[in-house]
């Protein structure tokens, strides 16, 4: 399973209002629950915030990869948000975050969870990819850029 198979264009969101880490995670939780009947927005939010309390998922260079397990998640789900304005995410390098890659996985998806997290980190650690994502000027361009980066990474 690759990120490409779980990140459809409609879950690549462009110009999302930021404000705060909490607001961005609430926004995503509401969005994903509206599009995935088995998920409850409050539970998704609670699990994402719970994971953040263990340590920020802000990996540096303006990127965060919030993730959590969810018993009502039937298969891994990915979402990508390019924020309109960078926000404080308590990232390891102290830099504000404007690129957010969210992963939700079934409760028991240990190996899949780690593999997908590793793929997301590898894609987002590439400076050229981050630069291209920030230059993308539409939802379509953003998704195309991400898919290209995922394919490059998986063939490396």
DSSP string, the chain: --HHHH--GGGEEEEE--S-HHHHHHHHHHHHHHH-TT--HHHHHHHHHHHHHHS--EEETTEE--EEEETT-SS-EEEEEEEEEEE----TT---EEEEEEEEEETT-HHHHHHHHHHHHHHHT-HHHHHHHHH--SHHHHHHHHHHHHHHHHH-
Tell me which of 61, 67, 72, 113 is the catalytic residue.
67
Extract the tokens encoding 131: 């630069």
Catalytic annotation on 67? yes
Which amino acids are annotated catalytic? 67
């Amino acid at each position: 399973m690759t990120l490409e198979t779980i990140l459809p264009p409609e879950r690549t969101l462009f110009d999302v209002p930021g404000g705060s880490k909490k607001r961005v995670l609430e926004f995503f939780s509401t969005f994903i629950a509206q599009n995935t009947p088995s998920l409850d927005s409050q539970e998704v939010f609670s699990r994402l915030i719970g994971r953040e309390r263990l340590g920020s998922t802000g990996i540096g260079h303006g990127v965060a990869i919030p993730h959590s397990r969810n018993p009502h998640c039937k298969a891994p789900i990915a979402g990508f948000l390019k924020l309109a304005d960078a926000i404080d995410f308590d990232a390891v390098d102290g830099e504000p975050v404007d690129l957010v890659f969210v992963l939700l996985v079934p409760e028991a998806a240990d190996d899949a969870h780690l593999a997908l997290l590793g793929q997301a980190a590898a894609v987002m650690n590439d400076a050229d990819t981050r630069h291209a994502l920030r230059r993308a000027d539409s939802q379509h361009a953003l998704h195309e850029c991400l898919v290209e980066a995922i394919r490059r990474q998986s063939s490396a």
